[in-house]
Structure 1
Amino acid sequence: MAKSRRRSTIQPSRPSPEPAQCASESVNSHSGTHLDDNSCPACDTGEPLPSSEQESWIRCDNCKSWYHWRCAGSDSNVDTIDKWFCSPCRTADPRRAITYKPPTRKSVRKRIQRDYANLHSGIVPNPSRWMQFLQEKPIKANTFKVMDGAAVSMHWLEEDEYAMTEPIIIEQPDGLDMKMPPSSFTVHDVAELVGEDTPIEVIDVASQSTSPGWTVDKWVQYYTDKSAREKICNVISLEVSGTRLADMISPPKIVRDLDWVENFWPNAKKGKGHSYPKVQLYCLMGVATAWTDWHIDFAGSSVYYHILRGSKVFYFIRPSGANLAAYERWSGTELQTHVWLGDLVDEVYKVELRAGNTMIIPSGWIHAVYTPEDTLVFGGNFLHSYGANLQFKVCDIEATTQVPKKFRFPFFTRLCWYVGEQYLRDLRISRSAPERVLQSILALANFLVTEARAIERGGDGKKKEAKDRVPSDKVKEPSAVSRELRWRARLALGFSSDDEGEHLGERFHIDDRTSGKRKRISESSEKDENKIRFRHFRPRAWDKVVESPVIEEECMMQAKRPADEGWMEQWDDGPPSAEGEAATVSRQQSRLVKVRRMADGVERQRVEVVSERWTWQ
């Protein structure tokens, strides 16, 4: 590649050879004479440029001689040259041609750089203006359930079809089987248990940027000395797993029962010294007037949120298809700086939480948060099997809006493989599971099939990246595991199972992503003769097959033309007349009954075969 340099005419010497170049590179290969440092083989006049200008040099890629670009070049910019050869070298070998660098690709789409470090806070430069703005907006009082802690259980989840589709509020923690620090706990205690010298990410609300150089001790000083606050700051990403503070926190039992990390990530690969999704134990410390802009938690994960001290005001948008589309258009674009997302959606709900309140936010809900007073909160994120459709939908939005991997759910795909492998083993034993869980398993299987295809058909980079995300200790054959999981989930849901291209949504339209209600489409649209046949697995064998003995009989009867069949008309040897003719009929009859157990009952298939031979007299 051609090398170019730009120097002032005050020091007109030629660029010196790079250390890796040998001394012979300073010899002109055409004249055989050693050149002066200030000489250019193509100079005609040697007149210097005005001292205010810069001299550009370029080196021939063949002979390594340096030229003034004004002498040997053209009207083009020297910075656009990829390979360059001087005139003598091009004359000596016409195959040497000057080439140019390709132009830099530029997107015509206007985009702003979103501060993903503030993904959970979504902070805007002037938080107070949003609160003033909200005074003029129609905000609906929430209609979400207020529940007793003891009622928030797996029984509730399995019996109530709307469970975990809307936020719920638990005013007192009793019955949640949750462990939290005492109400007297302060940020000083956080510093003692986490470590005063521990680095901490602090968000400057006004500038929407991370302030460098903060430690937990420095944050405590800022938090406790209100008179010294020159800026509004927030701590929203202090995950405390592995610290002494973690020993004082335990999520609600319903969260522990549902959490994919808790239930599917191998215990031997969790804890100190291991890399795993550490998203269960966050300590959030916000000061008065901090604002958290609209966002969805990474990977559409659900959230438990307990106010230990202070208060919070939440604003919610339901994750309907239209609202999610509006969020996708708004997120990461110029709209985010001057348009309130609430104006683009159907309804906004308001929830006020006080000290002692706990809230569970289900998958996919869009929300913003205001902090009226200094607040200390403990919470965490979790993925589960009652909302996977929305979880994967949010992942698609993250990919579309180009959220950097650093700010997505950690080890998400590896976790999905662990979950899929375990569900596959469960489905091999029994298909009995709530329909919402089966729908989530099918959504998970479709995602894993996509990952498997990247391994099978992707380019070298994508193939390696997808393969590295597979936990080889559990999943030996990702292609087989993902496709068998999809096949078994489809069988359990009552789908035909042996079409490679048929997924959830092809036989059922999802009408409401929050409730999972489905509407069956016409049978004719299900037929597609061009679909790839699924070849990796055979349908489950029948539990019992009973075949009756063959019954044979022979009799004489009057044969008449089968008026409704017409197959005899093509023969010229005279089929039976309408009056009928005498014929000998030999008949064989057999019956086959197949039975197998299904998740919701028994499937019985009865096949009866009657074979006749007619001989006319």
Structure 2
Amino acid sequence: MARAKRRATRSTARVSGTSPLSSREPTPEGQVAEAQSRSAETCPGCTREFSASFNQFEKENWIRCDACSTWWHWRCASEDEKKDYTIDKIDKWYCKPCSDKDSSRVTTLKAPTRKSDRKRNYRDYASLSLGMTSDPNRWLRMLENKTFKQDNFKRMHGSEVTLEWLEEDEEALTEPILVEKPDGLGMKMPPSDFTVDDVAELVGEQSPVEVVDVASQSASAGWNLGKWADYIQLEPEAREKIYNVISLEVTGTKVGDLVLPPKLVRDLDWVENYWPSTRKGKGHAYPKVQLYCLMGVASAWTDWHVDFAGSSVYYHILRGSKVFYFIKPTPANLAAYERWSGTELQNSWLGDLVPEVTKVVLEAGNTMIIPSGWIHAVYTPVDTIVFGGNFLHSYSVPMQLKIRGIEINTQVPKKFRYPLFSKLCWYVGDRLLRDLKAGTSYSPRILVSLLALADFLVSEVRILERGSEQGKKEIKDQIPVDRVKDPAAVARELRWRLKLAAGSDSDEEGGSVAITKTNGSGLKRKRGGEEEDRPRFRNFKPRQWDNVAEHSEEGESRLVKITQPLEEDETWKERWTDWSNEVMDEDGGTEAKVTKRTDTMVRVRRIASRLERQRVERVVETWEWEE
């Protein structure tokens, strides 16, 4: 029932509007007259006293009779009705003349709103940002009565954190590691007496900086490094709010010149190793995420998060202390994190949704490397300065793509995702393909990981081929045309070569393929429960041979005797397929003449910086006898 059409509520001061009694559209010249005459509009119940006493700028309520469709002022309705209920509660209403004609015409009210006894949680959107409340100390209260798993993460000497460690230890870089002293890491940091004032002076006091209001976990506008340095100098009790700086990237500044990530990080970092050096630096857009200066004050807190795109992190405490709370990135824990992110659950402690949380305390001089995907929250007990950075690498591609998928599913704004992620993947894929063609070999652990990268690039190509126009545009914008001329060929050939390098055949586009490790040495591909030996790659064109030479040489003939070579059944095919001296009998059987011919083919070609020469010999025997 369209009740809104039966009643009209309007203000007589809105001179450009219409009323149930008039549909006139006033002209600009007549607006004043319209305003003066509006109060004169009457209903059948109006009296001179009502019209004289009504203020034209008061809100006028109208109601229509459900019998005669005549509009009445609510103020002109029965005094008994106005005493018993208000206009917004009426379902059906009849004017007095209509109700006098028919006694069954009685005013009825709307059914009362259904109420529930369930307790409801209402969010205060005025004081929430990203699901957080405005109380900066709520995390400390959440920690009360919580239990944590004992920290048993590996402690290592800096000289042990190397590529050789990654290759020899299958568990390397699957859990956080702690290096208590920086010696041997191949890392450079500012002196231990380095201060926030030094940061402001070297980067520039007028340089803008993104400051996080800890209470709401959202950005606070209007900050520069000079203002931040002044805030830090305040005594803790004089700080009205608790703020945190966790995203000051200092590449290209004088502070950046004082920082060098650990050697292992530089050896692994995709940006360091695969992004073209000619497209870095001033004037070029590239992922600047390697050199962060983090400055937090006592009681600052960063809620549960995973670093963007599942990037790994190196984290060095220059001054102060940090307390980390870690959740292992198991499938179940990541699913819980995805449910928690961006919902009302974010007002609760994520640790209550997972089996265990590990607590780690870092002191000045400690360096931690956090692997891909680890969920963590960070508490700052005292004013602290930290230098760290993010890096993507070839050992954790599946997890990196998994976290990127969670970011998309939970609608993380692009501003807070890893910059130029897809373009970096294309640079990596193009370089890997060239290296594979040149004969570079990779360990089984890396091959398994890189196959996930190839699958991702193929999925991007499929969008280019069959996606929407908007999807195609987004993909094209991320392809570095300076290196990748044919993205479809690059993606599919990369996947094909990686599978061959891992001991697996290539599958056809869209085929159902299962890949599993075999004896820790590679991969095995199965289809329909049986292995297939024939490699297939739709777009691959092998390098042609530069020169081919062939010749044949006739050998001597000899006479042999064979036993029953041509029986009527089909068993002779199996016996003759694998000839041996055992099927021959010099003392009996049929005499046959055997002629041998040797065909030889030699071919050569140049591949990258080497020559490849192949010699193929084929021996053909012809057996003849009289029937």
**TM-score (ref. length: structure 1):** 0.71
The match for 2:538 among 535, 548, 551 is 535
Q: Which residue of 1 aligns with 2:53?
A: none
Structure 2 unpaired stretches of 5+ = 1-8, 19-24, 35-39, 44-55, 63-70, 72-120, 574-587, 605-613
- Following superposition, the deviation at residue 414 of structure 1 comes to 0.8
Q: 301-310 or 532-541: which moved more?
A: 532-541
Structure 1 unpaired stretches of 5+ = 1-5, 16-27, 29-33, 41-45, 56-69, 71-109, 511-515, 569-580, 597-602
Q: Which residue of 2 aligns with 1:52?
A: 59
1:259 and 1:384 in contact (8 A); partners too = yes
Q: Which residue of 1 aligns with 2:263?
A: 253
CA distance in 1, matches of 2:41, 2:309: 66
- Following superposition, the deviation at residue 535 of structure 1 comes to 1.6
Q: Which residue of 2 aligns with 1:140?
A: 149
Query: Counterparts in 2 of 1:201-600, with a 5 A limit?
Result: 201-225=210-234, 226-338=236-348, 340-501=349-510, 506-508=514-516, 524-525=528-529, 534-538=537-541, 557=562, 559=564, 565=570
Letter in 2 for 1:300: G
Q: Deviations over 1:421-459 (max 9, x none)?
A: 111111111141222222232221111111122222222
Using the aligned pairs only, state the percent identity. 55
1:112 and 1:333 in contact (8 A); partners too = no
Task: Note the aligned Cα RMSD (angstroms).
Answer: 4.5
Letter in 1 for 2:529: S
- Following superposition, the deviation at residue 286 of structure 1 comes to 0.9
1:554 and 1:585 in contact (8 A); partners too = yes
Aligned residue pair count: 511
The match for 1:189 among 171, 184, 198 is 198
Q: Which residue of 2 aligns with 1:93?
A: none
2:493 and 2:537 in contact (8 A); partners too = no
Distance 1:614 1:111, change over 3 A: farther
- Following superposition, the deviation at residue 174 of structure 1 comes to 1.2
2:286 and 2:419 in contact (8 A); partners too = yes
- Following superposition, the deviation at residue 207 of structure 1 comes to 2.6
Letter in 1 for 2:202: L
Q: Secondary structure at the match of 1:140?
A: coil
Letter in 2 for 1:294: W
Q: Deviations over 1:149-195 (max 9, x none)?
A: 12212222222222211111111111112111111111111111111
Letter in 1 for 2:255: L
CA distance in 2, matches of 1:53, 1:232: 51
CA distance in 2, matches of 1:159, 1:538: 36
CA distance in 1, matches of 2:356, 2:196: 36
Q: Secondary structure at the match of 1:350?
A: strand
2:249 and 2:292 in contact (8 A); partners too = yes
CA distance in 2, matches of 1:183, 1:285: 14
CA distance in 2, matches of 1:47, 1:256: 82
CA distance in 1, matches of 2:123, 2:560: 89
1:499 and 1:532 in contact (8 A); partners too = no
Q: Which residue of 2 aligns with 1:12?
A: 15
Q: Which residue of 1 aligns with 2:6?
A: none
Letter in 2 for 1:508: T
Q: Deviations over 1:243-286 (max 9, x none)?
A: 21111111111111111111111112111222111111111111
- Following superposition, the deviation at residue 539 of structure 1 comes to 6.1
Query: Counterparts in 2 of 1:142-181, with a 5 A limit?
Result: 142-181=151-190
Q: Deviations over 1:193-229 (max 9, x none)?
A: 1111122111111133222112212111221112321
- Following superposition, the deviation at residue 289 of structure 1 comes to 1.5
Which of the pair has the greater relative contact order for Cα pairs under 8 Å at 6+ separation? 1
Q: Deviations over 1:506-546 (max 9, x none)?
A: 22279xxxxx99996866436799x9963211468899999
CA distance in 2, matches of 1:604, 1:393: 47
CA distance in 1, matches of 2:619, 2:340: 62
Q: Secondary structure at the match of 1:377?
A: strand
2:503 and 2:524 in contact (8 A); partners too = no
CA distance in 2, matches of 1:488, 1:193: 48
Q: 420-429 or 160-169: which moved more?
A: 160-169
Q: 370-379 or 581-590: which moved more?
A: 581-590
2:210 and 2:220 in contact (8 A); partners too = yes
Letter in 1 for 2:305: H
2:503 and 2:523 in contact (8 A); partners too = no
Letter in 2 for 1:464: K
- Following superposition, the deviation at residue 322 of structure 1 comes to 2.2
1:313 and 1:369 in contact (8 A); partners too = yes
- Following superposition, the deviation at residue 126 of structure 1 comes to 3.8
Distance 1:307 1:558, change over 3 A: closer
2:505 and 2:525 in contact (8 A); partners too = no
CA distance in 1, matches of 2:531, 2:343: 41
